[in-house]
Chain A
Amino acid sequence: MLTQLAWKNIWRNKKRSLVIILAIMLGLWGGLFSGAIMMGMAESMVDSAIDRYLGHVEIHSKKFKDDVQITNYIKDVKAVENAINAQDSIAGYSKRTILEGMAASAASSFGVKIVGIDRVAEKSVSRLYQKIVDGDYFDTQKRNQVIIGKKLADRLNLKLRSKIILTFQDVHGEIIYLACRITGIFKTESSVFDETNVFLRQVDLMRSLHQTETLIHEIAIRVKSAKYVPVVEQNLASALPGLAVETWEKMAPELAFVSSSMEAFTYLFVAIILFALLFGITNNMLMSVVERIRELGILTAVGMKKSRVFFMILLETIFLSMTGGILGMTVGGFFIGFFNSAGIDLSAFATGLESFGSASMLYPFLPASMYIGLTIMILFAANIAALLPAWKATHLTPAEAIRTY
């Protein structure tokens, strides 16, 4: 009955209770939706980085990690392939040749990473082929084709079928100049990636290097589901102790940080909102207690213990806060769910978002665990908000409360 009484008590002044419930609802809705957008952005940054190039797991020679030199290639590629093929959860892998070099046009030059790939294998790891905005993805067998990013093309004043000169060192340290024809221009979510990466077919690169054996510097792996990443990494690391086996989180720690910190930021954001709301809830409950001083005095007079009075005020505060909280989470969840499927088109801010590596179409989301975390936070805030009113209610002298009010 105490629970029932507490619930009825919050509806004594409907208007006042509804105002605070509405404030909590709007505050939470805003906080959750902003958090979901931030998390959607972080997710977009991570997903697009994995899809664009990274893959889930990468293998390099340990020396290559410290010094990106042509000579620091993986010596026993066959052993690596055997180890990869022994895993069940691999969706695909791509062996890449990585060279540091320069890309030059008649107008300008720029430092780039030259990536030699096998067209078919690369398609099983990265989704670069979906980002071609002009030309194709090595669809013909012509020699010395190159695919470059839109940003680099603009920077070097190049177009499709323009000639571009790539300069890099061979295994002996000799400078190689390779004239290529641009057959494809890609545009990804990251303008930095588009500006600093060029892709060639591995055969063309090896021919220019006068190599009979293909030099592999990097093996990128895509697994069937992100949940297998730690297992695959662990298995490959133990099977290939002489090589550096790393997940995308280790290769791109800034992305991993963004991904993990967004959840923390959302909690922080909601905590700040709840902290502000806390004063409103306290004020509301204080008014409710002051209005009922005589009644509370009588309840104490007829034998209601202070602990029960305290508990009743606490329950009232929790009911008030949780009603607003549940409404806020429901409305927030509905909005997040809707925009998660419909997406939010932020193409007006595309340039800014691309510099962060985020897509301009955002799909906000909030993990289910956050709703549980938020419920606990609201309960905690309600307990804090109840302290002052409950203290006031339990420090009444019955005779004085009845006489004075």
Chain B
Amino acid sequence: MALIELKDISKTYNTTAVPVNALKDINITFEKQEFTAIVGPSGSGKTTMLNILGGLDKPTNGTVIIDNNDITKMKPGNLVDFRLNKIGFVFQAYNLIPVLTALENVEFIMLLQKVSKKERREQAENLLQDVGLGDRMDNRPSQLSGGQQQRVAVARALASKPAFVLADEPTANLDSKSAESLLDMMEEMNKKHNMTFIFSTHDARVIKRARRVVTLEDGMVKEDKINK
């Protein structure tokens, strides 16, 4: 049974005078432990697909099954809980809470899950150690480099023990050294924690490192290949 299954997904935006068909009849599945890149030119539907996968947007047609749950039929309140417990998010611009330290940012997700203070502190410290920021726990985002912030974002995404992590162009704002280092770390997490990573990217370095590459064009899957 696939971890994620998209059935006949289409998404049309009616916000402009001319409706925009962002996704057209997408049928695709993702298995556990995948390390998959969704690629394609701007406007190809990568972010829309990621939003639909993450339950942040509803498809116009079709169903999204995650861990045997049809999230397209979920009530908004249940969907928030589902996202909290099943999906980890990493955003292009890191988007950490600026007034909290790295440790508090990672802990915050577990606070929402009502994990006890002791447990969440312990878990957050372990995760930050894992992403190589054991000595930066008490720093605020403004005191960290872009690469370090993105590592905190990955640790935050993993803190809720999700079924998979969605990353929207995670290396877009990073220099090549930081990008490589982040990818190493994500790969390690993928192997160490058996964590599924699905990321949208333009970055050739990321595409090269992905084990599966799904190419979108004009809202349709143009190619779905396994990297050798």
Q: Report which A residues bind B (CB closer than 8 A).
A: 1-2, 5, 8-9, 11-12, 294-295, 298-306, 308, 398-399, 402-403
Contact = CB atoms under 8 A, between A and B. Distances in A.
A305 B100 contact: no
B111 A2 contact: yes
Contact of B56 (A8, A306, A398): A398
Interface string B6-45: 0000000000000000000000000000000000000000
A240 to B, nearest CB: 69
B47 interface: yes
A305 B80 contact: yes
Nearest to B166: A301
A8 B99 CA distance: 6
6 contacts: A5-B108, A298-B91, A299-B97, A301-B54, A301-B83, A402-B95
Contacts of A304: 80, 84, 112
Nearest to B140: A8
B98 A301 contact: no
Contact of B109 (A11, A303, A399, A403): A303
A399 B97 CA distance: 18
Interface string B76-116: 01001101110001010001011110001001110111000
B108 A1 contact: yes
B127 to A, nearest CB: 15
B119 to A, nearest CB: 14
B126 interface: no
B104 A305 contact: no
A303 B80 contact: yes
A401 to B, nearest CB: 10
A302 B89 contact: yes
B80 A300 contact: yes
B108 A12 contact: no
Interface of B: 47, 51, 54, 56-57, 77, 80-81, 83-85, 89, 91, 95, 97-100, 104, 107-109, 111-113, 156, 160
A308 B160 CA distance: 17
B117 to A, nearest CB: 9
Given A5-B97, A303-B112, 4 more contacts: A5-B108, A8-B99, A298-B91, A306-B77
Contacts, number: 61
Residue of B47, B51, B77, B160 ringed by the most chain A CB atoms within 10 A: B51
Nearest to B57: A399
Nearest to B93: A294
A46 B85 CA distance: 67
B95 A294 contact: yes
B100 A8 contact: yes
B104 A1 contact: yes
Nearest to A299: B97
B83 A403 contact: no
In the A-B complex, the 8 residue pairs with the closest CB atoms = A303-B84, A8-B99, A399-B56, A399-B57, A399-B51, A298-B95, A398-B56, A303-B83
A39 to B, nearest CB: 42
Contact of B112 (A9, A11, A298, A308): A308
B83 A9 contact: no
Contact of B47 (A1, A5, A9, A403): A403
A75 B108 CA distance: 83
Nearest to B50: A399
Nearest to A400: B57
A398 B89 CA distance: 12
A302 B83 contact: yes
A155 B81 CA distance: 86
A305 B109 contact: no
Contacts of B112: 302-305, 308
A172 B99 CA distance: 91
A68 to B, nearest CB: 74
A221 B112 CA distance: 67
A2 B117 CA distance: 13
A295 B111 contact: no
Nearest to B117: A1
A299 B83 CA distance: 11
Chain A CB within 10 A, most for which of B56, B85, B100, B156: B56
Contacts of A2: 111
Interface-centre pick from A8, A305, A399 (highest chain B CB count, 10 A): A399
A302 B167 CA distance: 12
Contact of B77 (A5, A295, A305, A403): A305
B58 to A, nearest CB: 9
B121 to A, nearest CB: 11
Contacts of B98: 12
A1 B99 contact: no
Contacts of A302: 83-84, 89, 109, 112, 156, 160
Given A399-B51, A403-B47, A295 B85 contact: no
A14 to B, nearest CB: 12
A1 B107 contact: yes
A303 B126 CA distance: 22
B107 to A, nearest CB: 7
